[in-house]
Chains A and B, each alone.
Chain A
Amino acid sequence: AQKVTQAQTEISVVEKEDVTLDCVYETRDTTYYLFWYKQPPSGELVFLIRRNSFDEQNEISGRYSWNFQKSTSSFNFTITASQVVDSAVYFCALSGPMNRDDKIIFGKGTRLHILP
């Protein structure tokens, strides 16, 4: 069975600090996809990144970076020099291979507060 665990329910940091959001997943599939989404107060989920199971390269996009480690089944997300606008709920998600079951499973989310 697939499972996504975001152990951090809520995190508060002061602006300009770095913060890492943890995501641990479970799957029996050899091909799978991992995602991060941001949910600002408006409610609509915003796509941040997709990573497939064969690509273990870490990725950086501006102040955002992602660390994918298959050995520990983790896909952690780091915000560098955090800003107040980063305050939101962040979800990690997992999907199986596209040619079969199209279910996408989400973690419970981490609520991030960036304090001015």
Chain B
Amino acid sequence: DGGITQSPKYLFRKEGQNVTLSCEQNLNHDAMYWYRQDPGQGLRLIYYSQIVNDFQKGDIAEGYSVSREKKESFPLTVTSAQKNPTAFYLCASRGGWGHKIDRSTNEKLFFGSGTQLSVL
């Protein structure tokens, strides 16, 4: 079955430590996104990538880094510079503007099941 896989489901970070959240998709989607969800804040965009080897900052990129070396993968690193990392992180993908096979679903975001990150 096609979909988006996020791992791990729960992650704990120690002070001063970098941690990486995994996001893999087998939907052949061009665009991938990372969102952070805090209670009462909704979803806020961290980084997004429209194509391999390219990505853009979202609204709250400070303290985070990403890479897009493969179409299927868009890992997010929460660095020690992120002073308040405790949150629920959601990865998403969609066809993107180059994905013209099925226009009816091109604009639709597909989400992973999320990673809950907590600080020890």
For A9, give its contact among B40, B45, B58 (CB under 8 Å). B40
For B45, give its contact among A35, A47, A103, A107 (CB under 8 Å). A103
**B interface bracket (residues with beta carbon within 8 Å of A):** 20 to 34
Please give, as numbers and ranges, the residues of chain B lying within 8 Å of A47 by CB-CB distance: 108-110
Q: Are B58 and A98 in contact (CB under 8 A)?
A: no
Q: Are A104 and B109 in contact (CB under 8 A)?
A: yes
Please give, as numbers and ranges, the residues of chain A lying within 8 Å of B58 by CB-CB distance: 103
Interface size on A, residues (CB 8 A): 26
For the complex formed, measure the closest distance between the CB of A61 and the CB atoms of chain B, giving whole angstroms. 15
A6-32 interface with B by 8 A CB criterion: 6, 9
> CB of A62 within 8 A of chain B?
no
Give B contacts to A, CB under 8 Å: 31, 33, 35, 40-45, 48, 50, 58, 88, 90, 92, 94, 96-97, 106-114
Seed contacts A93-B109, A98-B107; 20 additional CB < 8 Å A-B pairs: A35-B107, A42-B113, A43-B90, A43-B113, A43-B114, A45-B109, A47-B109, A47-B110, A99-B97, A100-B97, A102-B31, A102-B96, A102-B97, A103-B45, A103-B58, A104-B92, A104-B109, A107-B42, A108-B40, A109-B42
